Amino acid sequence: MELTGGQALVSTLIQNDVKEIFFIPGIQLDWAVEALRQNTGAIRQFVPRHEQSTTYMADGYYRASGKPGVAMVVPGPGVLNAGAGLATAYGSNSKLLFLAGHIHSSAIGQGYGQLHEIKDQTGVIAGLTKWNARVRARSEIGPTLQAAFAAMHEGRPRPVGVELPYDLLIQKQEEPAPAMAAAHPPVQQPQTTDIHKAAVLLNAARFPVLYVGGGVLAAGAAVQLQRLAEKMGAPVVMSDNGLGALSERHVLAMNTLAGRTLFEAADVVVVIGSRFMDAMTPSPSWPSERIQYIYINVDPADLSAPRQAAVAIQADAAATIDALAQAVDQRVVLSAQEALKVKAWAQVQIDAVSPQASFIRAMRAALPEDGIFVNELTQVGYLSRVAFPVYQPRTYIGPGYQGTLGYGFPTALGAAVGAGGKRVLAITGDGGFGWSYQELATARKYKLPVTLVVFNDGHFGNVRAIQRRVFGAEVAVDLENPDFALLARAFGVPSICVTTPEALGAAIRASLSEPGPVLIEVPVGEMPSPWHLLRLQPMAGLKLPDAPPHPLPARKSR
């Protein structure tokens, strides 16, 4: 059977179990879009109002569902617009297939001034993906897509990219029998000798601690993690990316603020599926002078300097945690009573940051336990990193190390698609929301169950706070905002304005019965900084208020 290149593309997507695609049509994609039309029953199409939202939505889709997200845009400006979402997906370890149209194959690199041509599109995409390829002949479309899926599923989850010159999407050729879906590579098992070394170190440790990142969620290792933590009776400190790996209801589950006091007492730390690097300086998240580290990661880059590993295990997180759980001694490192004291120690400091803490409590109480929370870069969002309890894997989505302002709302839309009807609660500031006002149309068009809370202070609030603290003055931070209620009404989206945490909680609960999106505006004033509570070690230069007394007694050697 003769197929166009566009039909071959869509056929390969279907073979690899792609059910949804996020794209914006354009002339270089016409033959791919026509093939999608011919297969509407097989692949649902979501068309946002800005190309950056294609990759944000695909990222949110993966993070909520665990299934690869697929985004497609035209070349040149389409690729550049989608770059922010692609960078966020890369920084957040998301499986994403990025399909980029291209100019005529014979004109690439010639500088003829073709429509949407940029100098080195391949280089742009290479910098935002772990694997990329440009199709050079019609016959390569199917095999290149299969190679992209195989690369996506191998090793550390990150985006992959495929460029598709438009003339090759038009060309027809006899297509061979449909290939099987790209096989997932076998799970990388740990070496028995490494497990033995790690177990010996842990069994001899006075106060071992487990520190987990997004790699635990990517490996689907939540059950294995709980088994290991309970056998050792050891606390589990979760990074921003690792939230939900162990339910906050578990007595051993700790945020990074609680982690400060645990790391002060620790002599051995197991770092699982995390870069374990400070966000602002090229150094590990915690010094190595008094602690021996066991690093477990599928990516060898995260086992190397400047980290200092007593044991480094390059392997799948689930397989390694499972093997460790069998090898370590049954013990109680941290009693339930001590664990509750550590949690209370952290909570006292969180509650002092008001009104953010009150808004966070109201949001958590109103959102169902399996509802998905998308956190943004706003004053309430910063504190949420340590203050918003997460009860299930894949129900918390953060910005990752890219820290891309405005990513939250379009990412939440993709999460709503991936979550299959679960309510998504997304927060943003009035500054960040300015990146994606237009996606209210997308939310309404597809009736996506997203409750968007806009905390409106009329400024780029965090930038203003930093300017005042460092320079004693402010500039370029005031905003001219629309009437958010009128804006929502223009898009046919229900909205409400509330001013208290109690009213916010009631509005979120009411939104749960809506069939589609809801916008909640919360006018707020200037808020106190939460930054002294974030990360294992506070950022340098911050004035730190006195913390409550250390809640843990000194530990004796085993």
pLDDT digits (tens, 9 = 90+) for 180-190: 777 788 999 99
Residue found under tokens 């911050």: 542
pLDDT digits (tens, 9 = 90+) for 383-403: 999 999 999 999 999 999 999
| pLDDT greater at residue 176 or residue 142 | 142
Residue 246 clears pLDDT 90, i.e. is over it: yes
Residue 351 clears pLDDT 80, i.e. is over it: yes
Residue 435 clears pLDDT 80, i.e. is over it: yes
Percent of the chain with pLDDT over 90: 92
Residue-level pLDDT at 280: 87
Residue 364 clears pLDDT 90, i.e. is over it: yes
- The strand ranges marked E within 230-380 are 236-238, 253-254, 268-272, 292-297, 311-314, 372-374
Q: Cα(39)–Cα(125) distance, rounded to whole angstroms?
A: 28
Residue 371 clears pLDDT 70, i.e. is over it: yes
| Runs of H (alpha helix) within 73-165 | 77-91, 121-126, 141-153
Q: Per-residue pLDDT averaged across 20-42, rounded? A: 97
| pLDDT-derived band at 151, boundaries 50, 70, 90 | very high
Residue-level pLDDT at 185: 85
| β-strand pairing of 311-314 with 292-297 | parallel
Residue 222 clears pLDDT 70, i.e. is over it: yes
Q: Per-residue pLDDT averaged across 341-364, rounded? A: 97
Residue 537 clears pLDDT 80, i.e. is over it: yes
Contact between 555 and 205 under an 8 Å Cβ cutoff? The reply is no
Residue-level pLDDT at 107: 97
Contact between 24 and 73 under an 8 Å Cβ cutoff? The reply is yes
DSSP secondary structure string, 139-195? GGHHHHHHHHHHHHHSSS---EEEEEEHHHHH-EEE--SPPPPPPPPPP-PPPHHHH
Residue-level pLDDT at 519: 98
Q: Cα(88)–Cα(84) distance, rounded to whole angstroms?
A: 6
| pLDDT-derived band at 203, boundaries 50, 70, 90 | very high
pLDDT digits (tens, 9 = 90+) for 284-306: 999 988 999 999 999 999 999 99
Residue found under tokens 């294609």: 54
pTM of the model: 0.96
Mean pLDDT of all residues in the chain?
96
Q: Per-residue pLDDT averaged across 94-108, rounded? A: 98
Contact between 88 and 407 under an 8 Å Cβ cutoff? The reply is yes
Residue-level pLDDT at 508: 98
Residue 211 clears pLDDT 80, i.e. is over it: yes
| pLDDT greater at residue 320 or residue 539 | 320
Residue 176 clears pLDDT 80, i.e. is over it: no
Residue 129 clears pLDDT 70, i.e. is over it: yes
| pLDDT-derived band at 179, boundaries 50, 70, 90 | low
Q: Per-residue pLDDT averaged across 139-157, rounded? A: 96
Residue 55 clears pLDDT 90, i.e. is over it: yes
| β-strand pairing of 268-272 with 495-497 | unpaired
Residue 217 clears pLDDT 70, i.e. is over it: yes
Q: Per-residue pLDDT averaged across 538-548, rounded? A: 83
Residue-level pLDDT at 178: 62
Residue-level pLDDT at 1: 81
> What number of CA atoms fall less than 13 Å from residue 531's CA on the CB side?
16
In residues, how long is the chain?
558
Residue-level pLDDT at 181: 78
